[in-house]
């Protein structure tokens, strides 16, 4: 099972256009930002799922709040029309995944995509429930336990070939692993950010 393919299969082609209209950003900027957001959040989830306790915690959150139903109305999710629930609470999801590294992640997305920090944060809040919805749907459809979930996440973030093809994967993983927020902008300078790029092309 390939998590990138699962994301691709559950994200509509007009996602970037919709986000660009909402954010007032250029489509290329939006695409780059979305790529980097998904990569960073996957890195955070993979890090959390690398321990039995962390994997069980994510599994419990999927069981309680993320059954994949948000994917049935992404237009409503992005516009806020779906209302407030744990499944749509992007800010809460970010807090659980990134913890104290949230601002560093926002700065990374902003500087690598060219959008301002407020737009980067807003986009992260909108996209986080989509990622959790995809994971929840994958869990239900495939009967994933904690080990299966950990394997699914590490299959993307821990794959050396994927890291070589998409440098941001390695950078995001190192960023998540850091004890402090650090400054990773020098590492990112000039890199081509292609992770999940094909998935997000219109």
Secondary structure (H, E, C), 2-49: CHHHHHHHHCCCCHHHHHHHHHCCCHHHHHHHHHHHHHHHHHHHHHHC
Residue 51 is assigned to a structural domain of this protein: yes
Residue 137 is assigned to a structural domain of this protein: yes
Residue 195 is assigned to a structural domain of this protein: no
pLDDT at residue 56 above 90? yes
Q: Is 175 within 8 Å of 112 (Cβ atoms)?
A: no
What is the rounded (10 degree) CA torsion for 113, 19, 79, 133? -80
Of 97, 153, 148, which is closest to residue 125 (Cα–Cα)?
A: 97
Which residue would you say has higher pLDDT here, 166 or 2?
A: 2
Residue 194 is assigned to a structural domain of this protein: no
pLDDT at residue 13 above 80? no
Of 137, 167, 165, 160, which is closest to residue 149 (Cα–Cα)?
A: 137
What range does the domain containing 111 cover? Answer: 3-188
Residue 162 is assigned to a structural domain of this protein: yes
Residue 35 is assigned to a structural domain of this protein: yes
Q: Is 146 within 8 Å of 55 (Cβ atoms)?
A: yes
pLDDT reported for residue 168: 52
pLDDT reported for residue 179: 44
Which residue would you say has higher pLDDT here, 63 or 171?
A: 63
Quote the pTM value: 0.79
Q: How much is the CA Rg of the chain, to the nearest whole Å?
A: 15
């Amino acid at each position: 099972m390939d998590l990138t393919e699962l994301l691709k299969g559950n994200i509509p082609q007009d996602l970037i256009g919709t986000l660009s209209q909402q954010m007032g950003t250029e489509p290329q900027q939006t695409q780059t930002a979305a790529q980097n957001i998904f990569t960073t959040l996957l890195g955070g989830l993979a890090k959390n799922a690398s321990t039995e306790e962390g994997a069980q915690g994510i599994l419990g959150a999927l069981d309680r709040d993320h059954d994949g139903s948000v994917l049935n109305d992404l237009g409503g999710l992005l516009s806020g029309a779906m209302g407030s629930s744990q499944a749509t609470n992007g800010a809460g999801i970010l807090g659980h995944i990134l913890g104290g590294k949230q601002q560093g992640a926002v700065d990374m997305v902003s500087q690598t995509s060219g959008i301002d920090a407020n737009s980067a944060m807003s986009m992260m809040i909108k996209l986080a429930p989509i990622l959790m919805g995809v994971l929840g749907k994958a869990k239900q459809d495939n009967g994933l336990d904690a080990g299966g979930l950990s394997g699914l996440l590490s299959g993307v973030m821990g794959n050396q070939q994927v890291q070589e093809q998409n440098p941001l994967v390695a950078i995001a993983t190192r960023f998540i692993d850091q004890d402090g927020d650090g400054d990773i902008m020098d590492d990112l300078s000039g890199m081509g950010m292609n992770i999940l790029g094909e998935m997000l092309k219109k």
